[in-house]
């Protein structure tokens, strides 16, 4: 017998108030959306909170405003269950588990979509910016771009896998680092960084975390980091990382914390063929730029690359790592009522790992 759900007229949501530098988040009731012909309605069980959500609510990315699309709820790391199908949907059944990612939809018909780079599609729609995000209990999602959550993956782990873990996976995959390479993860105690530690380990890399705080220190080592360099304890984290890497330097540097961009090349040291992977997105008003000497890049065979978020393929690969126990829980789970507090904590940098909200707890 097929599953059936009673769908309410209204549901809980965390909405942004006064979008911009003085934003706040409040919890309220909103109307439950009706899925279009090619969409599914998902009842979310959990959502992660990502620093990109803070950027969207601050409106400091230089991109499209949430309010320009009439969007009040951010969020792009959701895991739940399909409770209603659009009339054309054949790929899901009611009761199937489903996840929502940072990209809500793409055109599906351009060379980028065909070539495994659909997150760069010029017609992509961002979840929580161009479409209602996962800070709302019931949301619609295009069936073609909805991720299937496999058995054995709890919602509170699946939700951050949609963005944080998939983003880390994409960057590590594109770095091309060989097994045994030193991977310095700047901001490695945060949401994306702590996932990068685990995925780097799964790829056979040797992660070093640069961050600060006893909680992040403990979590980083627990998740597989070989060393933790606290930037409040060492006069020069660059010097310490070079020491840890045999006096040569890192093979790869993964920058999840934008303030570290100006010093990122230093961690390469004397290493030949190193790569800097740019992950963290700075605010447009910040001056977190990198000064690059072409001669240095030539002599050191240095590469600098940027990656956005994970593709459909990346997300599926991460969920398989979760199933195998190679990517583990790195979150603090809070009830829906704590949403405003959780957002405020993340904005202030008071979080080790991830914060996940459960809609029903």
Q: 295 and 209 in one domain?
A: yes
CATH assignment at residue 216: 3.40.50.720
CA distance 63 to 128: 13
- Residue 1 pLDDT level (bands cut at 50, 70, 90): very low
Q: Is residue 4 part of a domain?
A: no
Residues 6 or more apart from 243 whose CB is under 8 A from it? none
CATH assignment at residue 52: 3.90.180.10
The mean per-residue pLDDT over the stretch 2-28 comes to: 94
Coil, strand or helix at 323: helix
- Tell me the chain's radius of gyration from C-alpha atoms: 20
Nearest to 270 by CA among 291, 292, 251, 254: 251
CA distance 252 to 203: 13
Range of the domain at 122: 10-163+310-358
CA 245 vs CA 184, 207, 230: distances in Å: 10, 11, 16
Give pTM, 2 decimals: 0.95
| 65-105 residue pLDDT tens | 999 999 999 999 999 999 999 999 999 999 999 999 999 99
Domain count of the chain? 2
Coil, strand or helix at 245: coil
Last residue of a domain, one of 306, 321, 337: 306
Q: 268 and 194 in one domain?
A: yes
pLDDT at position 260 is 95
| DSSP result, 35-55 | --TTEEEEEEEEEEE-HHHHH
Q: 301 and 327 in one domain?
A: no
Residue linked to tokens 């393929």: 313
| 227-260 residue pLDDT tens | 999 999 999 999 999 999 999 999 999 999 999 9
Displacement of CA 72 from its chain's centroid (Å)? 20
Q: Which of 42-46, 131-135, 282-286 has the lowest mean pLDDT?
A: 282-286
CA distance 357 to 50: 11
The mean per-residue pLDDT over the stretch 124-129 comes to: 97
Q: 131 and 49 in one domain?
A: yes
Tokens describing residue 71: 């969007």
Nearest to 57 by CA among 333, 287, 339, 332: 339
Q: Is residue 269 part of a domain?
A: yes
In the chain, how many H helices and how many E strands?
10, 17
């Amino acid at each position: 017998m097929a599953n059936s759900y009673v769908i309410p007229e209204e549901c809980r949501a965390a909405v942004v108030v006064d979008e911009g530098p003085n934003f706040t988040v409040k919890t309220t009731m909103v109307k439950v959306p009706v899925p279009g012909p090619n969409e599914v309605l998902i009842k979310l069980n959990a959502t992660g909170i990502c620093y990109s959500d803070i950027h969207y609510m601050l409106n400091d990315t230089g991109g499209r405003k949430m309010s320009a699309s009439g969007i009040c709820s951010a969020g792009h790391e959701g895991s739940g269950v399909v409770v209603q199908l659009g009339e054309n949907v054949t790929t899901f059944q009611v009761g199937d588990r489903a996840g929502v990612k940072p990209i809500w939809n793409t055109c599906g018909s351009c060379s980028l979509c065909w070539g495994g780079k659909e997150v760069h599609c010029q017609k992509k729609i961002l979840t929580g910016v161009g479409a209602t995000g996962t800070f709302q209990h019931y949301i619609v999602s295009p069936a073609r771009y909805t991720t299937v959550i496999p058995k054995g993956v709890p919602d509170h782990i699946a939700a951050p896998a949609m963005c944080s873990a998939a983003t880390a996976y994409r960057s590590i995959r594109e770095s091309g680092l060989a097994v045994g390479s030193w991977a310095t993860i700047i901001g490695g105690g945060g949401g994306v960084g702590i996932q990068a530690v685990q995925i780097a380990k799964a790829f056979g890399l040797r992660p070093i975390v640069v961050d600060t705080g006893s909680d992040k220190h403990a979590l980083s080592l627990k998740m597989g980091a070989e060393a933790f360099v606290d930037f409040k304890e060492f006069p020069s984290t660059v010097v310490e990382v070079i020491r840890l890497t045999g006096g040569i330097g890192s093979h790869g540097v993964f920058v999840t914390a934008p303030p570290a961009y100006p010093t990122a090349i230093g961690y390469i040291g004397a290493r030949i063929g190193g790569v800097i992977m740019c992950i963290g997105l700075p605010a447009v008003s910040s001056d977190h730029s990198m000064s690059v000497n072409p001669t240095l890049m030539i002599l050191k065979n240095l590469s600098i690359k940027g990656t956005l978020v994970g593709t459909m393929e990346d997300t599926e690969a991460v969920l398989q790592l979760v199933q195998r126990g190679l990517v583990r829980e790195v979150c603090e789970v809070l009830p829906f009522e704590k949403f405003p507090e959780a957002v405020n904590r993340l904005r202030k940098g008071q979080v080790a790992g991830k914060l996940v909200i459960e809609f029903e707890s």
